[in-house]
A and B are shown apart, each in its own frame.
Chain A
């Protein structure tokens, strides 16, 4: 076990546990484990928890507990409570056609790989969902192949289309809605990651594995039709 390095109060009712400042599956799994154990043992004292790569934020009920009290409880936490984490694997269709992958050409020049190579590498990796941030439903994914690292655009685009699959620095992700953004767009995922009418609004949970499956424009249109008619359902792969 790595263990958290610090526990501090952020404001009147929020505390933050911090692990070493690294991105990795071990820290993620420990944070998820801790989060589950804290909710199971002290859920009555807690309003909400969420996390980033290496930090877990806990908002507590001020009328039920204090920072000092909760800190003591957390240091004596029974970690057996957080044992059954079962990450799911999701396969997301992505159309890498130049019609959507508007920055593929430019990216190919800048990193010196053919477009087909970029697509192959991007769609053959397994990604881990670390957390959601930046925008509702924006997944911070780990696992991008080093060969695809490329600094963000120096001038962000004013509007990146919803569903755009993009690469920025050492990260890859999907824009859940139209938004300004500085990442290089390489494709389009027709499936909405964020859905306000569903509970929870996002199907994928932190810790889950994400795969990108290349599809043609024709398949993209078929999926769009199915979504429009309400037939399309994104489900995790069996075996988990």
Chain B
């Protein structure tokens, strides 16, 4: 068995697969990789099944050492990854030797990077998933000194081709949305503001992204607590929007005015505070 040792933790580094299903009836969020297009690609590059847990690195990367040979791939945001001090590229399988040191530098584009490892990480599975989420798992993220096991079963892979990702994924501010169940509660002017303006990203984390535009009016809509899912955009009384992400609670009491497509959730997950987005309404 090999292990990855965290010499430093980075801003928020956790293990995430494609989510924990079947437990929302007990109030347990789905969790899972924020940008699942990138996490699936990371697994594909090392020939893992798409649902293997990968390491999700946010904005500031950790410093990692490996004690056994293996194969990794890094996808998603470009956080200037370096292996033993030399730059390496995203979207390519990279052989690792014992003692190798992986570091990250300046964020060049995107917010979240994914690292897959051949055969997957050895970490406890709780309720059918390895996704870290407190209180389902004891920890929400890794800290300095943590060790994470992996199968040291490296076999040579012939195809080391780089896979190009869609540029749009990182640069495009447009998010495709479906109308939400309460979209029609909004008057014409508000609908028009919503669909024709830029919204600025405020506070954001794995639970949700706050999006604001000062033109949006306050409101006093009342509704019964109802099911919400990742990608549901709620309208809060102040007029700010809350786009729910992977760790969001399963029910909510604010009007669900828009719903991000699966692709748009992945796209939003690569953006951070101060960046702007706009909505492109599509038929469901």
Residues of A within 8 A of B (CB): 8-12, 14, 16, 18, 21-23, 47-55, 57, 59, 131-138, 140, 177, 194, 196, 199-202, 206
Contacts and interface: CB of A to CB of B under 8 A. Distances in A.
Interface stretch (B2-10, B113-121, B220-228): B220-228
25 contacts: A10-B227, A11-B178, A11-B229, A11-B231, A11-B261, A11-B284, A16-B181, A16-B227, A47-B21, A50-B250, A52-B226, A55-B226, A57-B24, A57-B227, A59-B21, A132-B25, A132-B26, A133-B249, A133-B250, A136-B27, A137-B26, A137-B27, A140-B225, A194-B27, A196-B135
Contacts of B224: 21-23, 52-54
B262 A55 contact: no
B28 interface: yes
Nearest to B25: A50
Contacts, number: 104
A57 B180 CA distance: 14
Given A9-B284, A200-B26, A57 B229 contact: yes
Contacts of B122: none
Given A52-B224, A52-B225, A135-B249, A11 B259 contact: yes
B225 A133 contact: yes
Contact of B26 (A10, A51, A136): A136
Given A54-B224, A136-B26, A136-B28, A48 B21 contact: yes
Contacts of B85: none
Q: How large is the interface on B (under 10, 10 to 19, 20 to 34, 35 or more residues)?
A: 20 to 34
Contact of A201 (B21, B26, B181, B256): B26
A196 B20 CA distance: 13
Interface string B223-244: 1111101011000000000000
A183 to B, nearest CB: 14
Given A10-B178, A11-B262, A47-B21, 18 more contacts: A10-B181, A10-B259, A11-B178, A11-B260, A12-B262, A50-B227, A50-B250, A51-B227, A55-B227, A57-B229, A132-B25, A134-B27, A134-B249, A136-B26, A194-B135, A196-B135, A200-B23, A201-B23
Contacts of A132: 25-27, 250
Closest 10 CB pairs of A and B: A133-B251, A132-B27, A57-B227, A50-B25, A50-B24, A136-B28, A202-B26, A136-B27, A132-B26, A55-B226
